[in-house]
Structure 1
Amino acid sequence: NGGLTLQEAYAQTAEGGTLTIKPGTHEVPETLVVRKNIKIVGESANREETILKGGKENVLCIASGSAEIKNLTFQNHGLHDDPKGWAVWVQTRENVFENCLFTSATGTGLGIGKKYYSLLSAAAAVTDCAARGCGTAGFLVINASSGNFTNCEANGNSGVGLQILGSNTVSVAERCRFNDGGDFGIVVSAGASGTFTECEVSGNAKDGISGRYGNGNLTAHKCRFTNGNAFGVQLAHGRGTFTDCEFRGNAKAGIGFFNGGKLTVEGCRFLDGKDVGLQIVNWNKTMDPADGNIIDCEFTGNAKAGMYIEGPKADPTVERCRFTDGKDAGIHISSGACGQFTDCETSGNTKAGMWVQSSRWGRGGFSDPTVHKCRFHHGKASGIFVDDSDGTFTECEADGNAGCGILVNGASPTVKKCRFTNNGSDGIAVGYLGQAKFTECEVSGNRGSGIYVTSSDDLTYPDPVVEGCRILNNGKGVVMVEYAGGTFRNNTLENQGGNWHIESRDCEPVREGNSPNE
């Protein structure tokens, strides 16, 4: 800049003035410490033509006053986990960065915040900027500070793309990209908050967004979390709100929600994941429930369940969601979990549309979902499989499945006013220790039996209750094989291959008021 060093040019720039830097690589052997209001602008609109190159410590530190920085590249070797080693360190409020590039080989590219927690927090608006090749974080906001990022990019960093850390630390990112990092795409933790709109998080070595370090608060709208090597988003002990987002091709769940907190997911798509689509787990009985509101979402083509819910404190509300063409169950509820499901639909899944089971390790107790007005259809197995668990099903329909409409083993669900129609096997099948109660249901058009009850020995004797049901136009009506019981009252039967098939003397059903009764 006319033969001046950066320090000399800064010293000659008046308060509120503009320091213009010509293209070239300018060595900055000592940190430029800003202590006044100033504009520092690269003369060329191509930021990579004007490079300020430092050593291990900051190239630029805004210690007081405010700065507007534009069209510059900041490079240093950096220091790991030391603010003095960030390429740029912002300690004051009302700073602006536009069209800048930040690179720190071992440190952070752009850091916003004082070294220690302070009510006199730092802030910066960052637009059209990039952080690349950083050894720690690309962008970092800490200690009750704030960063507003618009149309920015963090890619190819060894560490986190954007880290937001600490109580009352807040950042907003709009139309930003956090891709191909060697760590997490974004971290929001220790009481921090982050709001993301129309952002892309893709191809990172760890989670796209991690809120797993406690009490983070995430909001994402119209964002895409794709092809990560871990979770699309992982959240623990915190709050998350996701609307109109897409989760695709991640190695783990699109969203993993663990150990208490509040999750809201609306209008989102979980597609072609290599694991489950959405995972909600809470085993810790001393913590708050893992509550969630999952509304109007789509789960398609995932390698495991579209939604997986585990643990006695996991109890989401799920409304108007679709679970289709998965390579496992559409919905899998395990290990004492609950869940309230209304107006949902499963179809084309390799395993059951809904699979309800108890703990895989004998802990957690019976799972017990409440399911209302849901449809389980055209799956490659049974529509509903209740295995050693409970559950309440009302006004649901299971139709066109390759297996049974509902299969019950060792379980005692309550099923009322449901329809089991046109399935490739039995409408209702009850196996060992099945204690299910069916009331006012329609069982029709199934290739096998309307109701099939069986067990291999008298120690696992099934004993369902079937009342006021219509069992019509099935291959057979009620079939009982080997050891089986049950109570059948006031049912109507009219089936092609006969209505009652009691095929063993060890079958002892109670029949009262049925038409026909024998």
Structure 2
Amino acid sequence: MGRSRIKRLNGGDVVEVEGFVICVRWDELGGLDGRLSSLPIPFLDSACLWRILNSPVDRRLPSIKPVVDEEDSAESIALAESQLLQTSAHSVVLSTSGRQTQLSADMADEQLNSAPFLEQSSSSHCQDIFQADQMDKRLAVRRRHSLQHQSEDASCRSSLAATADEASEPPSKFMKPDSPGEADQQSAALDFSARVLQALGAGGVADDCPISRIPDELLILIFSYLVEGDLAQCSSVSRCFHRISNDIGLWRQLYISVFEYTTPLYHSSSSSSPCKFELREPHRWRNCANAWKESFVHLRHAVHVRPGMNALYNQPGRRISHFDGIESALKFVEARPQMAKLILLHAGRHTPEPIIISSAVQIIGASSGSDLDVMRAVSIENQKDTAVSFVDGSLGSYLGYCSVVFNPDKVSPQPHINHYALQITDETDVVIDHVIVHSSSFVGAALCVKKQAANPRLRHCIVSDCENVGIFVSDNAHGRFEDCEIARNNLAGVWVKNQASPIFRRCHIHHGRDVGIFTFENGMGYFEKCNIHSNRISGIEVKLHANPTVVRCDIHNGQTGGIYVHEKGRGQFMENRIYSNEFAGIWITSQSEPTIRKNEIFNGQQGGVYIFGEGRGLIEQNNIYGNALAGIQIRTSSDPIVRLNKIHDGLHGGIYVHEKGKGLIEENEIYGNTLAGIWVTTGSSPILRKNRIHSGKQVGVYFYDNGHGLLEENDIFNHLYSGVQIRTGSNPKITRNKIWGGQNGGVLVYNSGNGVLEDNEIFDNAMAGVWIKTDSNPTLRRNKIYDGRDGGVCIFNRGRGLLEDNDIYRNAQAGVLISTESSPILRRNRIFEGRAAGIEITNGATATLEYNWLYMNRYGGLCLATDVRPSLRDNRIFDNHNAVERAIAKGYCLFKISSCTSFPMHDFYRCVTCNTTDRNAICISCIRICHRGHQVEFVRHDRFFCDCGAGTLEQQNCCLQTEIRDNDTIYDSAQPTESETGSNNPPVGPPAAAGGGGNLAPLN
């Protein structure tokens, strides 16, 4: 197999090949004239044809070379060789009917740019597999001199195929015979031409077309030895060649050998994104059957930097620029401004002199593997100066898929404070994409962006393990940093200063040995959807008038805190998740004034937001929960605005204001906290307005140790302890609040507490609406205290206070109970519809009662115990039910009307015969009936319930009761539980219940 010869047939030169590489039977073309040039077959140039003929098909078929029969003359040999082999590598001349058609080798470039080259044929052209011994075909490039030259219109009817009308027309339409003897030859040739046109142009393949019989495997093997230009030309020979030359595997092999990428590189041709490169899997290429070929077209004009590979890029037929160094490649593209400035930097460690780019150059790494593999495989390094700099004029530049490293000598005396791995300055909008930036210098930064017009775009970059700052943006510079990883740097991951305003989106900033992001000295910036965590100091630090905007970021697991704003720092922090930090989620101090809005701040190992040292700011619409200490802490003259937040389920308190803290705290919802909802202490004076403070496990609002402030228009309800507690010199103003549902009362003032309570509604509390005890002296004015399950106001243990113009009604016990040496002033109050007495004074207490109205109370208007002598002036006592006197008059035991839940005031006795103690009391009705004839003695006129009626006497059963009552029922007027919030400990247990019968007075 594998024999070829050169002959003269019909006055033309013919190359005859016997073997697998066959195109047509030129024997049938004997009389073909100018019609040849109108066939829709762009011919290969001689260099491409010779490479096909010399492709090593297999071991049985050596390289084909022309052989000559013995009868061939020297002239025919020379003519054939000159026609086939000695033709210029750039063109081949076909002579038909006296005119020449020149096909340039530049056709390959034209075909690379043309649409037909990018299209894939859907028709199959190989229908039969044939054996080599059945083949007898011939390949030739024929010259004819006897045909007349015809006009262009007459000789070239179509560039694709004959239409149905044209095929049916007689041959005379296409040519005119020069002699009668040539007509038969032309007729036979036209019959063959019609079959070729039908096969190539009409979409079908003639059964006897020799091209269709060549095995695909053979063509693919032959084409695998061709370069891209040859494949482009072969694509235009026939449909069969078009299909084979566009084989995906063929182009993949060629692509990897030239570019090294194992995933085709997508390069956008859009004018809106000229610098978009992406390693894109073939199935992700839209409307593209062969992604490898498409990528080759995109990158065909690139200049390659690949040391030692000159032979690969200088193969015959290949037109690819290649250099061994970056400097040479840059000089090459700079000298040709008309060509695309794309440099492919192949795998390896490149150590050129400092690269300064001042024009629109695109440099991209080329290697095998994934994105990260390519980035690591291609490295640009420098040890003395900035590795790569983009300066004025580099608009539209690109650097991608490589590493840029500044690695100075550790013992070098040369300072490197102004040396970086990558520097972007002046007016430039360079794109840095998929680049690893690293610096081992102990000063400076790995990446520097500075000066006003600098506006680079960094995407998918890694700035990590640097011995200094990761990214430094300064001097009014801008820039967009998207999907970057900034990690494990010795100093801050990002520095922003001097009016710089970069944009960071979706960046991962973590495990820094300093702060994650540091904005200072009027630095700004926009940070969105970044993940900032595990930094040794805070995730973000803002100081010295810096004003960044941080939106929808996750800031967590900081080893010091989440966000630290100090020294007059500002900033907008919105819709972030700030959680699991070892200290406060947000620190604000030293006259800083940030805006904290719509964040989630939770699960901190200390507090949520900590404001101290004259800090200010707006804390608005945040969800703060689950923190180990207070949700918000305000101290040392700080004065923030805390508005519309949810502060709940903390392991400590909700808001803690201390050490002269201030602040406007309004319209927040504070609930479910372990300690007080709000603490105010140590000289602090916040404004608490329109908050909902509820469902706490201790107190709602707690003023202690000289805590002051304004508590206005709040809803305070459903706390395990009282709604408000005031103690130890505290003196708040509490006005227009609703305080209800406290399990230990509404308001508790004790231990020398003060305060002004005005215009409040205090209702439905389990114990007294207001407690005043232990030397406390509050003012209650114009309050409504009603529907309590104990008394309205209870004043014990030297309690004082001024009660003016209050409405106290429908309480289960006395409207006002005054006991144990207390001495309040009651003036112009309306005390009515109580289910016990209006006012009761007992146990050595006294009071000043002026202009009060006491009416419609069950036990009476004013009840005074033995030896009580209050100051009374112009009080009106009327329309009370006097149920105690009525029961006695009817002979009822007073336990019948009181049960164990109240203490009617009347004369009580003890029975000596029944050996009752001083702690037992027997009503006058039981003395008369049950203890008739016994030795009895008067105790006093005071508040008791009857132990005889209660069945608690050991030797006597009450004759007036039809059933024994349960004397363990909890009764009201029990002692309130004082908050333990001040000791920072959670409550030990629920409020203590008072029990036992016949107590002479409530527990003290």
Do these two structures clear the TM 0.5 threshold for a shared fold by scoring above it?
yes
Which of residues 179, 188, 191 is equivalent to 2:522? 191
Residue number in structure 2 paired with 1:50: 378
Please say if 1:373 is aligned against 2:704: no
CA contact (8 A) 1:305 1:331 kept: yes
Spell out, residue by residue over 1:345-380, the C-alpha distance to the aligned partner (whole angstroms, 9 max, x if none): 11111111011112xxxxxxx322222221111111
How many angstroms apart in 1 are the aligned matches of 2:790 and 2:666? 31
Please say if 1:315 is aligned against 2:645: no
Which of residues 622, 634, 650 is equivalent to 1:326? 650
Which of residues 778, 795, 800 is equivalent to 1:485? 800
CA contact (8 A) 1:41 1:70 kept: yes
How many angstroms apart in 2 are the aligned matches of 1:336 and 1:426? 28
CA contact (8 A) 1:136 1:159 kept: yes
1:230-309 to 2 correspondences below 5 Å:
230-236=560-566, 237-283=568-614, 290-309=615-634
Q: Amino acid of the residue matched to residue 642 of structure 2?
A: V
Distance 1:438 1:461, change over 3 A: closer
How many angstroms apart in 2 are the aligned matches of 1:492 and 1:79? 85
SS at the partner of 1:262?
coil
Residue number in structure 2 paired with 1:438: 757
Q: Amino acid of the residue matched to residue 351 of structure 1?
A: L
Normalising to structure 1: TM-score of the pair? 0.89
* Displacement of 1:461: 4.2
Which of residues 344, 348, 363 is equivalent to 1:40? 363
Residue number in structure 1 paired with 2:845: none
How many angstroms apart in 1 are the aligned matches of 2:680 and 2:772? 19
Residue number in structure 1 paired with 2:680: 356
User: Which 10-residue stretch deviates more, 476-485 or 319-328?
Assistant: 476-485
SS at the partner of 1:411?
coil
Distance 1:37 1:464, change over 3 A: same
Which of residues 521, 542, 554 is equivalent to 1:224? 554
* Displacement of 1:190: 0.8
1:84-123 to 2 correspondences below 5 Å:
84-94=418-428, 95-106=430-441, 108-113=445-450, 122-123=454-455
CA contact (8 A) 2:749 2:776 kept: no
Which has the greater radius of gyration? 2
How many angstroms apart in 1 are the aligned matches of 2:617 and 2:760? 30
CA contact (8 A) 2:556 2:562 kept: yes
* Displacement of 1:11: 2.7
CA contact (8 A) 1:231 1:251 kept: yes
Q: Which portions of structure 1, spanning 4 or more consecutive aligned residues, are displaced by more than 4 angstroms? A: 78-81
Residue number in structure 2 paired with 1:471: 786
Which of residues 710, 732, 737 is equivalent to 1:392? 710
Distance 1:31 1:440, change over 3 A: same
User: Which protein has the bigger strand share?
Assistant: 1
Spell out, residue by residue over 1:430-451, the C-alpha distance to the aligned partner (whole angstroms, 9 max, x if none): 0233221112322223223221
SS at the partner of 2:796?
strand
Gaps of 5+ in 1: 284-289, 359-365
SS at the partner of 1:100?
strand
CA contact (8 A) 1:83 1:111 kept: no
How many angstroms apart in 2 are the aligned matches of 1:38 and 1:426? 77
* Displacement of 1:60: 1.4
Spell out, residue by residue over 1:229-261, the C-alpha distance to the aligned partner (whole angstroms, 9 max, x if none): 122111121221122111111122222121224
Which of residues 329, 334, 343 is equivalent to 1:20? 343
Aligned residues, how many? 493
Q: Amino acid of the residue matched to residue 551 of structure 2?
A: H
Normalising to structure 2: TM-score of the pair? 0.47
Spell out, residue by residue over 1:17-49, the C-alpha distance to the aligned partner (whole angstroms, 9 max, x if none): 535244322241632233444221112453222
* Displacement of 1:136: 0.9
Residue number in structure 2 paired with 1:77: 407
Which of residues 801, 816, 822 is equivalent to 1:500? 816
How many angstroms apart in 2 are the aligned matches of 1:417 and 1:345? 17
How many angstroms apart in 1 are the aligned matches of 2:741 and 2:528? 45
CA contact (8 A) 2:363 2:399 kept: yes
How many angstroms apart in 1 are the aligned matches of 2:326 and 2:454? 24
How many angstroms apart in 1 are the aligned matches of 2:408 and 2:392? 22
SS at the partner of 1:106?
coil
Percent identity, aligned pairs only, is 21
How many angstroms apart in 2 are the aligned matches of 1:22 and 1:91? 23
CA contact (8 A) 1:436 1:463 kept: yes
Please say if 1:11 is aligned against 2:326: no
CA contact (8 A) 2:486 2:509 kept: yes
CA contact (8 A) 1:440 1:470 kept: no
* Displacement of 1:83: 4.4
How many angstroms apart in 2 are the aligned matches of 1:491 and 1:78? 83
How many angstroms apart in 2 are the aligned matches of 1:483 and 1:322? 39
SS at the partner of 1:170?
coil
How many angstroms apart in 1 are the aligned matches of 2:579 and 2:409? 36
* Displacement of 1:511: 4.5
* Displacement of 1:475: 2.5
Gaps of 5+ in 2: 1-304, 308-323, 832-837, 840-861, 863-1004
How many angstroms apart in 1 are the aligned matches of 2:352 and 2:779? 82
